[in-house]
């Protein structure tokens, strides 16, 4: 952990996480609404490019851009080796919100794996 707690730096990391999670959840939600990819390669490409016109999908891309800006700001305040492990929390948050809002399954293996990720994060943050 850095010698002094950097509230603003940690806020940038949290913002990166929240925007990343938002983008992933919105993309999954909206792609679940449109169905499976069509069979042909050209049809797949056209199908995916059409999704770029969806305002929700666009908001997911905007959130990715804003997350990148927040991450750049975080990188001015922390070493990568300290800040990057916090990004593993995205797995935890996405899994929770995926179950809550998208009805995705959460079994014991996912819970155990998530606990291991969090334990690893704690170890890295203290080291």
Tell me which long-range contacts 44-50 makes (C-beta under 8 A, separation of at least 24).
none
Q: What are the pLDDT digits (tens) for 51-110?
A: 999 999 999 999 999 999 999 999 999 999 889 888 988 988 999 999 999 999 999 999
C-alpha to C-alpha distance for 78 and 38, rounded to whole angstroms? 44
Q: What is the reported pTM?
A: 0.86
C-alpha to C-alpha distance for 118 and 111, rounded to whole angstroms? 11
Do 74 and 20 contact (CB within 8 A), yes or no?
no
Summarize the confidence of residues 8-22 as an average pLDDT. 97
């Amino acid at each position: 952990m850095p010698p002094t707690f950097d509230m603003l730096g940690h806020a940038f990391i949290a913002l990166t996480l929240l925007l990343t999670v938002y983008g992933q959840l919105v993309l999954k939600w909206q792609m679940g609404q449109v169905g499976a990819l069509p069979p042909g390669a050209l049809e797949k490409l056209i199908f995916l490019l059409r999704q770029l016109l969806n305002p929700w999908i666009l908001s997911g891309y905007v959130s990715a851009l804003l997350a990148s800006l927040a991450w750049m700001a975080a990188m001015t305040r922390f070493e990568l080796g300290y800040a990057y492990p916090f990004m593993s929390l995205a797995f935890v948050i996405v899994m929770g919100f995926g179950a809550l809002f998208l009805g995705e399954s959460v079994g014991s293996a996912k819970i155990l794996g998530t606990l291991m990720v969090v334990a690893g994060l704690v170890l890295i943050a203290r080291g």
